[in-house]
Amino acid sequence: MLTPSAQLPLYGRRILVTAPRNYAARFSEQIIQKGGLPILMPTIETCYLSNYAELDIALSQIDTFDWIVFTSRNGISGFFQRMNDLDIPTSMLQNCRLCALGKDSESLLSFCGRVDLVPPESSPVGIVAELAKIPKINQQKLLIPAPEVVGIVEPNVIPNLISELQKLGPQAIRVPAYLTKILDKSIYEVELNLIRQGMIDVIAFSSTAEVESFLKMVNFPSDYEHSIIACFGPYTTANAQKLGVNVSVVSKDFSSFEGFVEAIGEFLLLMSKEKACS
């Protein structure tokens, strides 16, 4: 792209990326393409489990499940990595139908070459809405690979999904497939000082866990009062607001980071126009 940087919507804007490193790379690429300056400060880390007992039991009975419902790319990676560790071929999933959200379907395709359901709305609500249309779903058995959360209160996203799925009547079984944990704030002295000094234009949260962990890293709400808060979709926004965070930017397209970056750019452009008119 040969567009001069000064003509790009995020030109010169410092965007704090709190997503874990495996997501932060893709998010930062989108920010850079729009002329922004990503400042990486992953507040959470996603990694392999230390105890696979529950997942291993589910994998030993995998042919008894009708659906495997993935809610994140991490869940897909953790699930198939464990299958590989145990030498379980993907052909063992032939009786299961597979569900993934948005761009996560590309990851699922790379692991097993098949995706049976990608909800139009890339959210747990979208999953429930689509599964509700499946004939005799109340007689089926669902496996939900999910995170084991350490160091913060677990966000309500997965518990709410399980609850709503159970209302449809099927047996919905959650198993940990990966670990989500808060990172030590001591490694972010520089980044936290930039926030306090008002040097960060936008703090961008892509999940509730990132918000919760960030709030544990700052001392007071005044630490980040000079930054615009952006959230990846309405569900992260709602949870951030419950935690007392004032959200200014909400991406309407939350199937990819591209939509998130576009929403940030549109908001900043609107702010610039309003400032020019005042």
What was the pLDDT predicted at 254? 78
pLDDT band at 140 (very low <50, low <70, confident <90, very high): very high
pLDDT per residue as tens digits for the range 65-93: 999 999 999 999 999 999 999 999 999 99
- Domains of the chain are 5-43+184-277 (3.40.50.10090), 47-181 (3.40.50.10090)
What was the pLDDT predicted at 275? 76
* CA pair distance 270, 277, nearest whole angstrom: 11
Q: pTM score, two decimals?
A: 0.90
Q: Are 212 and 243 in contact (CB under 8 A)?
A: yes
Per cent of the chain over pLDDT 70 is: 99
CA dist 176 to 52, 71, 100, 181, 264, Å?
Answer: 8, 12, 16, 13, 33
Interstrand relation of 171-182 and 44-47 (parallel, antiparallel or unpaired): antiparallel
Q: Are 247 and 231 in contact (CB under 8 A)?
A: yes
What was the pLDDT predicted at 119? 96
pLDDT per residue as tens digits for the range 186-209: 999 999 999 999 999 999 999 999
Three-class SS state of 80:
helix
* CA pair distance 89, 73, nearest whole angstrom: 20
pLDDT per residue as tens digits for the range 4-61: 888 999 999 999 999 999 899 999 999 999 999 999 999 999 999 999 999 999 999 9
Element (H, E) at 177: strand 171-182
Tokens representing residue 245 in the block: 């965070």
* CA pair distance 10, 258, nearest whole angstrom: 13
Average pLDDT, rounded, for the chain: 95
**Is the pLDDT at 1 greater than 70, yes or no?**
no
Element (H, E) at 174: strand 171-182
**Stretch 114-123: mean pLDDT:** 95
